[in-house]
Structure 1
Amino acid sequence: MPLRTALSRRAALLGLTGAASAVRIPAALAAQPEAGACLLMPETVEGPFYVDPHLVRADIREDRTGLPLALRLRVIESGPCTPLSRARVDVWHADAQGLYSGYDGQGDSRRISTRGQAFLRGTQFSDGEGWAGFQTVYPGWYAGRATHVHFKVFLDTRTLVTGQMYLPDATNAEVYGTDPAYGGRDTKRRITNGQDGIARSDDPRQVGVAAVERTDEGLRATLTIGVDRNARTKSRFWPF
């Protein structure tokens, strides 16, 4: 379980999540945010699992198995809500069995080492409409945390926001209950978004819960991230 660290409480990100236009997916599986709302969401904890592997790639799966997931993140400027192009977007998340790449102490036993590996990590730069996309697998859970995807957004020499995308509880239950890649674990240790301490503290309105819809390949999760482009936090991860 990532250690909670002290962090700035500045409100650096604005999350917009539109109701999913679901295709062949039960309404219960989709996020249910307030349609068309611009909701302020504070920056959240990075956790100890971020690395900067300099991997500019859209397909971050490597050898990981699991339900195919297309991540669609849109970066906009808060206030005018105009899209930001060429923003650097980093994502990273756990695999189907709850393992992060690049660290010791992984897995339910905390005895698995993934040092030297970089699965389920990558960087993309937003296009003219602010979109950055990744092909991955649906993230697994680990004890103490709800299912989530980490992201960072950079612009020029600044880290604009560190955040977490959450997946709807109903979608998690459906995926974990039907796909064998996620099986063989003590499901009593799995928690929901409402039980997650970080989510309750940093995102009580669940603005960061993505809209999810079914595709021919698997699922697609979409989240729009509004940032304060005047943020002055210098980034040690720039230039790329």
Structure 2
Amino acid sequence: MVSASSIAATLAVALSLAPLASGHPGEKIGKREALEQMGNAHVVASMNARALEACQNSPAVRARKERAMARRAETFARLRKQRGAENAPWLHRRDAAALQKWAAQSHNKTGLVDFTKDTPSREIFGSNTSCVLTPDNANGPYFVLQEPIRSDVVEGVPGVPLHIELQFVDVQTCAPAAGVLIDTWSCNATGQYSGVSARGQGGLATTYLRGVQAADGDGVVAFDTIFPGHYQGRATHQHLIAHVGAATLPNGTYAGGAVAHLSQLFFDQALRDAVEATAPYSANPIPRTSNLEDWFTGYAATDAYDPFPNYIMLGATFADGIFAWAELGLNTSANWDYYAPHAATWKEGGGYDNPNFDFWAVASPPPTHG
């Protein structure tokens, strides 16, 4: 449980950094708005974490976790075969007793041992973040509505291959959040986003590193993308939005529904440092922002809220790629549409700007929902 004192301390640190938080051109946010938004996020995270914890002893939940372990082991083997890395050394989980607080812990499932058919999948893939991702009101000004429904979003963009598997659980019912549309996007290796007309970005005709998938019967979605790069004032992150009640369209996109969740995933500092030492990330001249310096990460990470997925390298080098996974709890009855303004809408042949877009209209947020 997150105590009032720990929330207050976290807010104090984040607010002290508020004047420095500037991830996109023109972004500004006041300390009062940050206090309201971050306080809401902590309350929701604490409630949903307790609900998710209560699910863990359910026979159905235990069975789902067994399926997840088997699925991840199968995915790991399949990805290694696809990349010709079947005989390469791989990463095994470190001793959990050696892990410290979230800022120092590693989600790297690594070891210098060979993967064999006799290696227990439970040892590698049994650990689960089982985290609650609460709306952190930080979807950023580059959300594009009605992105294409697809699992491979790379489009030839250079970078370290990243296969990310996310399992969503409804904290109200303990059941998989089947059918929920999961929207994800990130910047490229040198910090540019597709789909938006803002200066320095990819433009309305681009769609790279953006996509949507419907969660399957176990609440699972999987995307092939690249490890995100970084830009001014922000730590490396992957955006997520969950759309409940949305309809898929014949043109391969979606419409309608409500935003039940929005947030960002972050990555271990050691992994970020290693990836960014390689090309094309090393060509990015923008100074890096550490996880501890990024105020969105700082207020997000608590005992109730772990925004760092587990990961494992698929081979001996980053060229073989990374497999990352997490189990995420959300309230499918929540409605956070207010915090998900879109900069543009995608349509076949190119997107178009939202004429009513004003990201900072959230300066006076309404009461918290779910």
Specify the TM-score bucket, using the shorter chain as the normaliser: 0.7 to 0.9
Cross-structure match for 1:25? 91
| Distance in 2 of aligned mates of 1:25 and 1:93 | 25
Counterparts of 1:79-98 in structure 2, within 5 Å, are 79-98=172-191
User: Are the structure 2 counterparts of residues 42 and 53 from structure 1 closer, same or farther at C-alpha, using a change threshold of 3 Å?
Assistant: closer
Work out whether residues 194 and 201 of structure 2, in 8 Å CA contact, stay in contact via their aligned partners in 1: no
How many residue pairs get matched?
A: 228
Q: In 2 relative to 1, CA 194–158 (structure 1 residues): closer, same or farther, beyond 3 Å?
A: same
Q: Which has the higher strand share?
A: 1
Counterpart-to-counterpart distance in 2, 1:236 and 1:41: 19
Q: 1:29 to 1:64 in 2, by over 3 A?
A: farther
| Residue equivalent to 2:222 | 133
Q: What SS does the aligned partner of 1:139 have?
A: coil
Q: Distance in 2 between matches of 1:64 and 1:87?
A: 27
CA deviation after TM superposition for structure 1 residue 62, in Å: 0.9
Distance 1:31 1:4, change over 3 A: farther
Identity of aligned residues (%): 22
Q: Secondary structure at the match of 2:271?
A: helix
Do the aligned partners of 2:312 and 2:324 also contact (CA within 8 Å) in 1? yes
Q: Is the 8 A contact 2:177 2:332 kept in 1?
A: no
> CA 1:170–1:29 in structure 2 vs 1: closer, same or farther (change >3 Å)?
farther
Aligned to 1:161: 261
Distance 1:36 1:181, change over 3 A: closer
Q: Deviations over 1:54-83 (max 9, x none)?
A: 300000011311111001111101155321
- Does structure 1 retain, via aligned residues, the 8 Å contact 2:129–2:310? no
2 CA distance for matches of 1:43 and 1:80? 19
Question: Which residue does the alignment assign to 1:143?
Answer: 232
Shift of 1:180: 1.1
Q: Determine if the alignment matches structure 1 residue 209 to structure 2 residue 308.
A: yes
Q: Unaligned stretches of 5+ in structure 1?
A: none
State TM-score, norm by structure 2. 0.54
Distance in 1 (alpha carbons) for counterparts of 2:207 and 2:335: 29
Change (3 A) 1:135 1:47: same
**Equivalent residue for 1:42?**
134
CA contact (8 A) 2:154 2:225 kept: yes
* Equivalent residues of 1:58, 1:123 under 8 A apart: yes
- In structure 2, relative to structure 1, the CA distance for the partners of 1:93 and 1:192 (3 Å cut) is same
For 2:149, which of 43, 51, 56 is the aligned residue?
56
Amino acid at match of 2:234: R
Residues 77/66 of structure 1: CA separation in 2 closer, same or farther (3 Å cut) = same
Q: Which structure would you say has the larger RCO, counting Cα contacts within 8 Å and 6 or more residues apart?
A: 1
Residues 30 and 213 in structure 1, CA contact (< 8 A), matched pair in contact too = no
Query: Paired residue for 1:229, among 325, 332, 350?
Result: 332
Matched residue of 2:231: which SS? coil
Three-state SS of the structure 2 residue aligned to 1:174 is: helix
Which protein shows a greater Rg? Answer: 2
Aligned mates of 2:291, 2:218 — CA distance in 1? 30
Shift of 1:185: 2.9
| Residue 176 (str. 1) matches residue 276 (str. 2) | yes
Using structure 1 for the length normalisation, give the TM-score. Answer: 0.81
Shift of 1:99: 0.6
Q: 1:104 to 1:31 in 2, by over 3 A?
A: same
- Give the Cα separation in 1 of the matches to 2:219 and 2:201: 37
Q: What SS does structure 1 have at the residue aligned with 2:213?
A: strand
Match of 2:309, as an amino acid? A
CA distance in 2, matches of 1:78, 1:164: 19
Unaligned runs of 5+ in 2: 1-22, 54-67, 77-88, 95-103, 109-126, 246-256, 343-370
Measure, in 2, the Cα distance between the counterparts of 1:194 and 1:145: 10
Q: What whole-Å deviation, never above 9, does each CA across 1:80-117 have from its counterpart, x for those lacking one?
A: 532111110000001011110123445xxxx4552321
